[in-house]
Amino acid sequence: MSADDLAVAGFVPFSAIDWPGRLSAVAFLQGCPWNCGYCQNPDLIDMKAPGVIPWADIRTTLEQRRGLLDGVVFSGGEPTRQRALLDAVVELKELGFGAALHTSGAYPDRLGPLLPHVDWIGLDIKAPSSRYADVTRRTGSGERAWASLDLVVASEIDYEVRVTVDPTILTLEDVEDIVAEVARRGGRPPVLQETRAEGARPTFVERLGNLRLTDVVPAEALPGIERRVELPSEATPGIREAVSRREATEV
């Protein structure tokens, strides 16, 4: 196993919004064990699909951008699914770049060994534990995500907890429960994110309709809890084209 085994589905060479206060590249890793209705990168869920961008190409790009980028954000899909991620992160550090993760916390056992090597984590908490599977459509997901939060809180790492509020599922009481539970576990106050229709499957877009974060969490609710308008990168049209090309090749 080495960084070259990483299945990378997409690469954004420059982003100012995926790692707070840092300029980064973003690598979208293939595969996720969950299946959230609002997933903006559903093409990246398939855990058997191969990557389309060799890690060696990313390494070359980074070496050409030395001094222009602070590091790489690994997103997905679920980046911690791939055991080669640790090798890639270690290699990045040796090259003098930082490393950050956008993770759902689906693999706490794999997240733990990454923590000493990663500089920042954006951790999604999707629901109260009892309602997690309503969002991810996978049993046991809540235990995993909340265990990952405990690991992150106990570490020295800089992090953000974000809650994508799915207005087709979550209620204000659910969001209040999440905020209270994060606080009870010693975590930083979460940031509430709007669910976007862009990139999501048509069935979800139809369900979402005109529902918005404020329909679940009115402006006056949860004072002091940040709402985010600018959201992290999603798989760009270029990535979708690459995935489509891969699928066409596989047929």
Task: Note the residues at the interface with ligand SF4 (CB under 6 A).
Answer: 32, 34-36, 39, 41, 45, 76-78, 104
Burial class (CB in 10 A: 0-12, 13-18, 19+), 177: middle
Give kind and range of the element (H or E) at residue 100.
Answer: strand 98-103
Strands 71-76, 24-29: pairing is parallel
Q: Which is nearer to ligand SF4, 17 or 95 (CB)?
A: 17
Q: Which is nearer to ligand SF4, 31 or 71 (CB)?
A: 31
CA 199 distance to own-chain centroid: 15
Q: Which is nearer to ligand SF4, 97 or 159 (CB)?
A: 159
Helix (H, G, I), strand (E, B) or coil at 232: coil
Q: Provide the minimum distance between the beta carbon of 234 and ligand SF4 in the complex, in angstroms, as a whole number.
A: 10
Six-digit token pair at 24? Answer: 């980064």
Q: Provide the minimum distance between the beta carbon of 219 and ligand SF4 in the complex, in angstroms, as a whole number.
A: 26
Q: Provide the minimum distance between the beta carbon of 224 and ligand SF4 in the complex, in angstroms, as a whole number.
A: 26
Q: Provide the minimum distance between the beta carbon of 235 and ligand SF4 in the complex, in angstroms, as a whole number.
A: 10
Q: Which is nearer to ligand SF4, 24 or 104 (CB)?
A: 104
Q: Going by C-beta distance under 8 Å and a sequence separation of 6 or more, which residues neighbour residue 197?
A: 204, 205, 208
CB 129 within 8 A of CB 142: yes
CB 34 within 8 A of CB 138: yes
Q: Which is nearer to ligand SF4, 39 or 101 (CB)?
A: 39
Q: Provide the minimum distance between the beta carbon of 9 and ligand SF4 in the complex, in angstroms, as a whole number.
A: 11
